[in-house]
Every structure is written in structure tokens, then in C-alpha cells.
Amino acid sequence: QAKQTILEELDQTERLDMLLDILINETYILSIEKDIVQKARDRIEDNQRDYFLREQKKIIEEELGEDDNPSAEAEAYAERIYALGLAEESENALIKECKKLMRMPYGSQEASVIRTYLDTVLDLPWNVATKDKISVTKLRKELDKSHFGLAKIKERIIEQLAVAKLRGSQDGQIICFAGPPGVGKTSIAQSIAKAIGRKSQRIALGGVRDEAEIRGHRRTYIGSIPGRIMTAIQNAGSNNPVLILDEIDKLASDYKGDPTSALLEVLDSEQNNKFVDHYIDIPFDLSNVMFITTANDVSQIPAPLRDRMEIIELDSYTREEKFNIAKKHLVPKQLEKCGFTAKEVKFTQSALYCLIDFYTREAGVRTLERLIGNVLRKCAVKKLEDEQETFKITDKEILEMLGHKKFTTDKLPSKDEIGTVNGLAWTSVGGELLPIEVAVMEGTGKLELTGSLGDVMQESAKAAVTCIRSHANSLGINPQFYKNKDIHIHAPEGAVPKDGPSAGITMATAIYSALTGKPVKRDVAMTGEITLRGNVMPIGGLKEKSMAAYKSGIKTVIIPKENEADLEEIDPVVKEKVSFIPVTSFSQVVPIAIVDVPVISEKQWNAVADNTVTTKSENIRQ
């Protein structure tokens, strides 16, 4: 068409102008095409360069074992996931993560998060379990070898494991060892794991305030990790370890959540077979895990959590138990730590009793162990300075090495005294002798109570006075004593707070002795709550109280009749030396405790009480 236009033009000048315009246009088009071709060629060269470098990088990383092929990596993860044989929902959730990883560049932050998650999940022991070596005889021997005493705990553990062996699976109540510090709660839990061939992990819960510590952090947060439960499972390397939840009563709550509530699912055998950690985000079966918790104060554990656990109380060690623990466990342990052999250093029986009685006041044996170590360190110095080869530690050497006695034992009065009765008290570090003193003076019927007595103990003192008043005739006391006599009841060591109803019959006996002027037998002690009618009610802590009576040289202990079954727990050494007399009424206490007092017949005692009740009923009707 351009050619035809040029040929039709007759004017040569115009024809040349038209041709020039066409040539200029063609030249411009050719220049553009040249630029495009050049740019295309440059880009192809760049791509070839990048491709070449990328291929070199791949070969280098393959040689170093750092292949970053997303597809190959995702396929490797998928193979491991299928090999676990998880539930369909869990498997699909993990495969979904693998597909995400496949679509992402190797170095991206999101890919790194997914990779860390998959590594954590796949490292969990989903199908790895240790085989229990449950032999009741061997288990009992192993526990007796590692711990002295603690008969209740050992028996309960043996029962649970025997049932687990018969059933072939672990599905039982969560056990909580509760007791004062230093009595061996954590160590016996670890010994249980060792005895049955399971791996154990200890989780310290003291001071934990964040719910995420138990359930884990969600993956949306930077630096998120699984909770302590799943971390312990991963560290144990099996799905049926013994998890020791230490100091469960020290958990606290704040704005970050309540960790005690998070433990409700963990410690419920009906629910924990599908425990979901926020980080793992798929169910994990905790039903095969053996949970053992420890606590000092059960009252600090929330009621729903406490309801899921079987509480086993550990009492403070008695004097005899401490002696055997020191002899069989603490001394050999400290000898090894200080570089001595059993032939080089020998502790006599008197030395160990000296340490227990005069240098420690504790429920457990931690201070006792430290003192034994202190003595052995002094022996080590003597061995190096004086080149002394052997040491025989007696009570005299203990006094020389450790200085004056820190505590004194309770001593009986030198003679029978009027108005002074030996009571028995329970403390967190064992039993103690609690003497009660009563003085009767001319006055107007006032009752004075001193000795830092708590509200319950003050009420118990008032009940004792009323009991004496209501039975004054049968006891041979002037019924009008409450009008012209002031009574002062005192518990020595006035700075030490005291409370509880178990000194009721002790105070009643002291009041009777002071009013009649008859002395109380110095080698008799008693414990029991008293009612207005003179009935003796049961008390707690009889094991510790009996040990206190034994240490103090008491020959006879009066106890409530309902506590007679508790005598089975009393140390055999105590039973041999101390006579226990169960009573149901204060009328039975008086002839046993007071010197030269005739027996009060039950008929006479009950008649007085019935008349008292009748009189009160008539007054109420009036």
C-alpha cells in the first residue's frame, strides 16, 4: 500500500519526502526491535547465570548434606508421620503442615516455625514404652532397701502395681504424698520408678503461675514451646514414665491463668487419654503415665484438684526411725562424700541418739544428715593435721565437735506433784510432753488461762471446769468451789502457741488434783478430748505422742478408747516400754492418774450426769 502511494505521486519532491518519512518510521521500528532483542538476550543470560549458580549451590549443599529441596524434605517428614500410625485426625493435621512446608522457600521464617513444630511432634515417644518389671517380692525388697519405714506408702504402691500387672495396663488413682519437709516424699517416688524399671522425670511446680507452663504456648507466639508435661514426656523418651509433680501445693494463679485448673485434665485418668498441649495441638495419651504428686500442706490444694488424688499422709519420723535411717543410709552416704570408709569412722549408737535428741528438731532428717557431714568434715581435718587413721564417734566427741546442746529433752518431775499433769502434744516435728499446771486460790470464781492458748484449747479448759463442777459430788469435791475459788490454768513455755482439744482430760485431771490436794503420778501421761458429761473423745497424732512419752520416760499413757486401733502403728520399741490404757470416761482417768483415789463406779458417775441434764432441761422449760 505504501509502495502504491509513492508510485501514484507525480511530483518528485513530494515522492522523496514520502519515501523519507517511511524510511524514518522503519528505522525507528528497527531500533525498538533491536532494544527488545538485546534486553531479552540479557535476561536469558542472567537466568542462565542464576540457574548455573543455583545448580552449583545444590551440588555443594548435597555434598555437605544440606539439601534444601522443600519437596524432598516434606516427603521425608510425611514418611515419618505415616510410620507413627497416629489417629486419622492427628495424621491429617501433620500432613497439612507438610504441604505448607512444601510450598515455602527454604529460608523463610514460616518454614522454620513449621520445621521446628514437626521436629518436636515427631520426637515425642508416641509408640515407645518401657516394659514394667513388676515382681511384688523384688519391689518390696527394693523399697525396703532404699527407704526405712513408710510402710503405708510402700503397701499402697505395691497394691497399685500389682493391679496394673494383672490388668496389663496402668489405670489407677493419682497418688499424692503429703507430709512435712524432709521425710522422703520425692526420693521414694524416684525409688518407685527405679524399682519397676520405668524412667522418671521430676517437674518442680513451686512458684509456677502461668497456665502455659502446663499446657504449652500456642504456635502463634514467637518462641513458643510445649508445656512442662510434654517436655517431661519427651525427655523421658517413653510414653509411660513416672512423672513426679513436686510441691503441687505451691502453685499460684495470676492474670496469666490458673495452673491448678490446667492440671485438672492432666490428673484425671478418665480424661487424660486425649490430653492436648497448646503447642503440639493434637491429642497425646497420658493414661499410661504414672503420676505421683507431693505436697506439704494439703489444705492449700484446690478442692477439685485434691478430689482427683489419693492423699497418703507421711508422718514425721520417730526417734527410732531417725536412728535407723541415719545408721543405714545417712552415715554411709556422708562417709562416701567425705572420702572415708566404714572402717575408718564409726558412729556409736549413743552418738546418733545424741545428734537426734540434742541437736535437731525436725520432722525429716535433712538437718541430721548435715550434722553427720559436719562431724565427718572435722574428722577429715584431724586426719590430715594429726594423721589420725581411725575415729570412733561417741556422744562425748559430738559435744566436743558441735559445742553445747541446742535442745533439751522433756524431763519428768522428780516427785509426784499436786496440780501438775503430763499432757502430750503433736507438733510438725514430732510429739512433745506438754505439762499442764493448775493453781487454786481463794477468790470469787474466776478462771485464768495462760500459756499462749488458742481458742479451741481455751474452750476445752472451760469444758473441763464444767465437767468437774457437774460431777463434784462423785469426785468428792465441794460443789460450791466455783464461788469461792479462783482457778489458774497454765501451759509452760508460754511463748509457744498451743491449740487443739486433746488436752481436755489433762486439764480436768490437773483441776481435780488442785481442788482435792491429791498428787498426780509423775510417770503417767494422757491425751484426749473431754465433753461436758465427762466422756473422752478421740484425738490425732497418737504415734508421735507415744514416742514423746517413751523418750521422756513415761510408763503409762491414758488414751481414748476410740484410738485403740491406732496402737497398731505404734513403734514396737515404744509398746515394750510404755503401757497404754484406753478409757471412755473421766471417771476411769482419775484412779489411774491420781495417787490413792478409789474407783468411781459407772452407775454413780452416770447418775450425777443424768441429774445434771435433767436439771438443765427443767430450767429450759421454765
Alpha-carbon distance 104 to 114, whole Å? 10
Spatial distance between the Cα atoms of 197 and 369, rounded to a whole number of angstroms: 28
SS3 for 382-448, per residue?
HHHHHCCCCEEECHHHHHHHHCCCCCCCCCCCCCCECCEEEEEEEECCEEEEEEEEEEEEECCCCEE
With beta carbons less than 8 A apart as the criterion, state whether 280 and 120 touch: yes
Q: Which residues are catalytic?
A: 502, 545
In this structure, what are the phi and psi dihedrals at residue 589, rounded to the nearest 5 degrees?
Answer: -75, -40
Q: Mean pLDDT in the chain?
A: 84
Residue 312 pLDDT greater than 50, yes or no: yes
* Most confident region among 316-320, 423-427, 522-526 by mean pLDDT: 522-526
Rounded average pLDDT over 28-56: 80
If you search the block for the grid coordinates 497439612, which residue do you land on? 96
The percent of residues above 70 in pLDDT, for the chain, comes to 93
Q: Which pLDDT band, with edges at 50, 70 and 90, does 135 fall under? A: confident
| More confident site: 615 or 220 | 220
The SS3 assignment for 40 reads helix
Rounded CA gap, 90 and 96, in Å? 10
Phi, psi of 421 (to 5 degrees): -125, 140
The residues pairing with 489 across neighbouring beta strands, listed in sequence order, are: 438, 449
**What DSSP state is assigned to residue 148?**
S
**Long-range contacts (CB closer than 8 Å, 24 or more residues apart) made by 295-299:** 295/176, 295/177, 295/178, 295/247, 295/248, 295/249, 296/178, 296/179, 296/180, 296/181, 296/247, 296/249, 297/178, 297/249, 298/176, 298/178, 298/249
Q: Average pLDDT of 273-292?
A: 88
Burial class for 293, CB neighbours closer than 10 Å (0-12, 13-18, 19+): buried
The DSSP letter of residue 329 is I
Percentage of residues of the chain with pLDDT beyond 90:
23
Q: Name which of 436, 437, 439, 445 is nearest 486 in CA terms.
A: 445
Residue 578 CB coordination number (10 Å): 20
The DSSP result for 440-507, as a single string, is EEESSS-EEEESSB-HHHHHHHHHHHHHHHHTHHHHT--TTHHHHEEEEEE-SSTTS-B--STTHHHH
Residues 6+ apart with CB under 8 A from 150: 184, 188, 314
Greatest alpha-carbon span in the chain: 166
Distance CA 415, CA 417 (A): 6
pLDDT band at 616 (very low <50, low <70, confident <90, very high): very low
Asked which of 145-154, 337-346, 472-481 is least confident by mean pLDDT, the reply is 145-154
pLDDT tens digits for range 79-99: 888 888 888 888 888 888 888
Taking the C-alpha atoms of 307, 243, 252 and 261 in order, what is their torsion angle to the nearest 10 degrees?
A: -50
Separation between Cα atoms, residue 138 and residue 132, nearest integer Å: 13
With a CB cutoff of 8 Å and minimum separation 6, the contacts of 613 are 533
pLDDT of residue 168: 67
Alpha helices in 471-601 (DSSP H): 472-475, 481-484, 504-516, 542-552, 572-577, 586-593
Nearest to 530 by CA among 484, 486, 476, 469: 469
Q: Which residue has the higher pLDDT, 146 or 589?
A: 589
For 407-438, what is each residue's pLDDT tens digit? 876 677 778 899 999 999 887 667 788 999 99
Residue identified by cell 497454765 is: 490
Half-sphere exposure of 570 (CA within 13 A, CB side): 26
C-alpha span between 487 and 447 (Å, rounded):
5
- Residue 252 zone, left/alpha/beta (φ > 0; ψ -120 to 50; rest): beta
Calpha distance 474→477 (Å, rounded): 8
- The answer to whether the beta carbons of residues 268 and 262 sit under 8 Å apart is no
8 A C-beta contact, residue 526 and residue 424: yes
Identify the residue with better confidence: 516 or 165. Answer: 516
Give 289's pLDDT tier (boundaries 50, 70, 90): confident
Average pLDDT over residues 123-129: 88
CA distance 536 to 585: 5
How many angstroms separate the CA atoms of 33 and 207, rounded?
76
Helix, strand and coil in the chain, % to nearest 5: 55, 15, 30
What are the angstrom distances between the C-alpha of 333 and each of 326, 330, 336?
9, 5, 5
Angle, CA of 316, 264 and 298, to the nearest 5° = 20
Contacts of 354 (CB under 8 A, 6+ apart): 395, 398, 399
| pLDDT tens digits, one per residue of 539-592 | 988 888 888 888 888 999 999 999 999 888 887 888 888 999 999 999 999 999
pLDDT interval class at 38 (50, 70, 90): confident
Give the span between the Cα atoms of 201 and 241, in whole angstroms: 7
Alpha carbon distance 260, 266 (integer Å): 10
> Which grid cell is 3?
509502495
Find, among 335, 327, 350, the residue nearest to 380 by Cα. Answer: 335
